[in-house]
Chains A and B, each alone.
Chain A
Amino acid sequence: MRHHVILRVIAKLGIPFIVLFALYVQFHGDFGPGGGFQAGVIFGAAFILYALIFGLDNALKVAPMNLVITFIAVGLLVFAGVGVARQVSRLRRARRQFRRRTASRHPARRARSRDHGRRGHDRDLLHLRGPGPVAVEFLIGHYNYWIFIFLMMLGFYVVVARGNLVKKIIGLNIFQASVFLLYISIGKVLGGTAPIIIDGGGPVTYSNPLPHVLILTAIVVGVATTALGLSLVIRINEAYGTIEEDEINDMDQEP
């Protein structure tokens, strides 16, 4: 990309703003939904853009490998440290207060306890009832689940049927993404809004936020898996000179 003047200029102009925006999201995070996580992603995107446009060598000059590794370790330490520090410094009284507060205000808790109340036939996602119009309604009414199943099988098929190692990773990605859809579908309450508590507001119907949180975790896991998978593919390419499964198998058989 180095010879594309337009890309270079635009990237050069854009990157400072991307970083600035990331910092804005980071420090605004306290007051709005999201926060540190998105900020980190935006921040990282700036560096990835830089690496794509100006090449990996230049990017490594900006962020040397040692620095990156140290940052990862420190980040994890800070993250785990916050949890431990909280646990250590917690006093009994503070704990009791906290519990009382969460009992009345934590949205996930309310959403879930309401979920427990919902029972009966519409909880059974995969239960077909009767022929005729009911079945048609079932097919259309559950379209998000059909998409989930379609994507799942599609991804699965790509993983199994493709011999190219990168394509397999793509298939794996589609496969994982389908599960995200499943979880989000489960959390949706018809007519529900975002689960934000407004002081003084009456009871509102809101979607269950918990599956979103779970899926955020699963997305992180998916990203980590993809990154690791692709880096393995790079190493395999270095060692074998190919990323086609058949050729690799042939080479392994020879000696």
Chain B
Amino acid sequence: MIAAHYAALQVVAPLIAAPLCVLLRRGIPAWLVTVAISWIALAIAIQLLIQVLATGTISYELGGWAAPWGIEYRVDSVNAFVLLIVSGISAVTAPYAHKTVVKEIPEDRHYLFYAAYLLCLTGLLGIAITGDAFNVFVFLEISSLSSYVLISLGSERKALTAAYQYLVMGTIGATFFLIGVGLIYAMTGTLNMADIATRLDAVENTRTVLAAFAFITVGLGLKLALFPLHLWLPNAYAYAPSAVTVLLAATATKVAIYTMLRFVFTLFGSDFALDVTFLAEFLMALALVGVFAASITAIFQNNVKRMLAYSSVAQVGYMLLGVSFFSVTGLTGGIVHLFNHAMMKGALFMALGAVFYRLGSVHIDRMRGLGKQMPLTMFAFVLGGLSLIGLPLTVGFISKWYLILAALERGWWPIAGLILLSSLLAVAYIWRVVEAAYFRDPATHHPRATEAPPALLVPTWILVLANFYFGIDTSVTVGIADNAAKVLLGSGG
């Protein structure tokens, strides 16, 4: 009975829990609700994924309204994977959040923080699960509005300007997206994605559809921090509360990339994108420039959170690079990197959150000598960093392996070379932190820091170990990503 409603529950559970948190009025009960709901969401996502892999696409009609007219939730292996990433990260972040929230946010706002957290989760899961183009916009705004709130709760005043900047750019992005959806509706008379996909073929060569395509790609480009539309991201990630940075860095841009994949491949179709538009060349160029520009900028950052935020922009570049090959291998690399990047950035930002918890700062000078004072935290950071660089046995290696394979498949040697070269840039910025933490003496005027509490270390290490587990046993992640890539390119699955 309830199994038939998993698709709806995935979104409804956090949505209903959010106002409950507000009514509870206390930080700790609200936190417990958040943790419980995050775990329930993860359980549902796993169930959905198993169901999809066993029986194929799940279609769920909301309120019993038949598909092209009512809103349909449609789960295939692509978004089942995204649901797993989002709910999985949330399931680890929610338990982690409590300690950092107590430290960083005034007590009277704790329950509101968790309410916003759950709304953000609702939005992210909703974008991933829905099969209705306008519904995507609604969920996009639910997740965005709540993430502006979450970012503005950061302890520095720069968090406010970062949230404001994100609000302005995010709203422009979402409105562009809305214009695109409106133009599609004008041409096809439908909002259901599957329905749009069949109807767009007939009107494909009109200027309206081209305009819609442009608006949607640019709008989503803003949301997913496509270089050079990434300007909101570094400050937003750097000044948000630690738990928020973990959640957003590991999920928000991924969901936006998923939406772009969905629109480009399922709605417009890869043929349209390749033949009529220059999306492939455009994405590849921007992705490569983004990887290098953002990585180089990251090297010069002294705020380590900001450094990793720039690194996130670079990593988005890798994902889009994978997409821009328009081949199964490339897409597999891109999609598997959605998951892998969530694991590595989740682990790194969690370790940084633990540092911030003890030091109240993540400035690179303050982290001197931290390797001895917080050995477990810093070791987690180092392992996460190795994964980011792409060392064999870590998830980062798997992603880059597939990206390079995809480049070689097309015979594009220089691009494979550039991917390797860019990894060296990651070595450079991670090394700066390692050098400070292990090879410098701590500044004497600061008190010695002690190891982070287990409540922070356990989630961090879960993600660090996940980096290695999924780096060694790739059958699950690459298997699903490969299946998803085939679904997107329409060659079965």
Q: Which residues of A contact B (CB under 8 A)?
A: 69-70, 72-74, 76-77, 80-81, 83-84, 86-87, 90, 95, 98-99, 102, 106, 108-109, 112, 115-116, 118-119, 123-127, 152, 156, 159, 165, 168, 172, 175-176, 179, 182-183, 186, 211, 214, 217-218, 221, 224-225, 228-229, 232-233, 235-236, 239-240, 248, 252
Known: A74-B23, A126-B208, A252-B161. A228 touches B69 (CB 8 A): no
Contact yes or no, A126 B211, CB < 8 A: yes
**Most chain B CB inside 10 Å of its own CB: which residue of A125, A182, A228:** A228
Known: A87-B63, A179-B179. A102 touches B69 (CB 8 A): yes
Instruction: Kindly state whether residue B469 has any CB partner on chain A within 8 Å.
Output: no
Please give the distance in Å from B122's CB to the nearest CB on chain A.
10
Contact yes or no, B164 A80, CB < 8 A: no
The docked-state distance in angstroms from the alpha carbon of A159 to that of B165 is: 11
Instruction: Kindly state whether residue B203 has any CB partner on chain A within 8 Å.
Output: yes
Contact yes or no, B185 A211, CB < 8 A: yes
The docked-state distance in angstroms from the alpha carbon of A243 to that of B152 is: 16
Q: Which residues of B contact A235 (CB under 8 A)?
A: 152, 160
Instruction: Kindly state whether residue B190 has any CB partner on chain A within 8 Å.
Output: yes
Q: Which residues of B contact A (CB under 8 A)?
A: 5, 8, 12, 15-16, 18-20, 22-23, 63-66, 69, 115, 134, 137-138, 141, 145, 148-149, 152, 157-158, 160-161, 163-164, 167-168, 171-172, 174-175, 178-179, 182-183, 185-190, 199, 202-203, 206-208, 211
The docked-state distance in angstroms from the alpha carbon of A115 to that of B64 is: 23
Contact yes or no, B161 A248, CB < 8 A: yes
Contact yes or no, A186 B186, CB < 8 A: yes
Residue of A nearest to B209 (CB): A124
Contact yes or no, B69 A127, CB < 8 A: no
Please give the distance in Å from A176's CB to the nearest CB on chain B.
6
| Residue in A83, A186, A248 whose beta carbon sits within 8 Å of that of B63 in the complex | A83
Contact yes or no, A81 B16, CB < 8 A: yes
Contact yes or no, A123 B203, CB < 8 A: yes
Residue of B nearest to A114 (CB): B189
Contact yes or no, A228 B19, CB < 8 A: no
The docked-state distance in angstroms from the alpha carbon of A172 to that of B148 is: 16
Contact yes or no, A172 B168, CB < 8 A: yes
Known: A72-B22, A116-B190. A102 touches B65 (CB 8 A): yes
Residue of B nearest to A128 (CB): B207
Not counting A70-B22, A239-B160, a sample of 17 additional A-B residue pairs whose C-beta atoms are within 8 angstroms of each other reads A76-B19, A77-B23, A86-B63, A95-B64, A99-B64, A102-B69, A116-B199, A125-B183, A126-B207, A126-B208, A186-B186, A211-B185, A221-B137, A221-B145, A228-B149, A228-B167, A240-B157
Contact yes or no, A124 B161, CB < 8 A: no
Contact yes or no, B172 A172, CB < 8 A: yes
Please give the distance in Å from B309's CB to the nearest CB on chain A.
16
Q: Which residues of A contact B207 (CB under 8 A)?
A: 124, 126-127
Contact yes or no, A127 B206, CB < 8 A: yes
Contact yes or no, A232 B178, CB < 8 A: no
Q: Which residues of B contact A119 (CB under 8 A)?
A: 202
Q: Which residues of A contact B179 (CB under 8 A)?
A: 152, 179, 182
| Residue in A73, A176, A232 whose beta carbon sits within 8 Å of that of B163 in the complex | A232
Please give the distance in Å from A78's CB to the nearest CB on chain B.
9
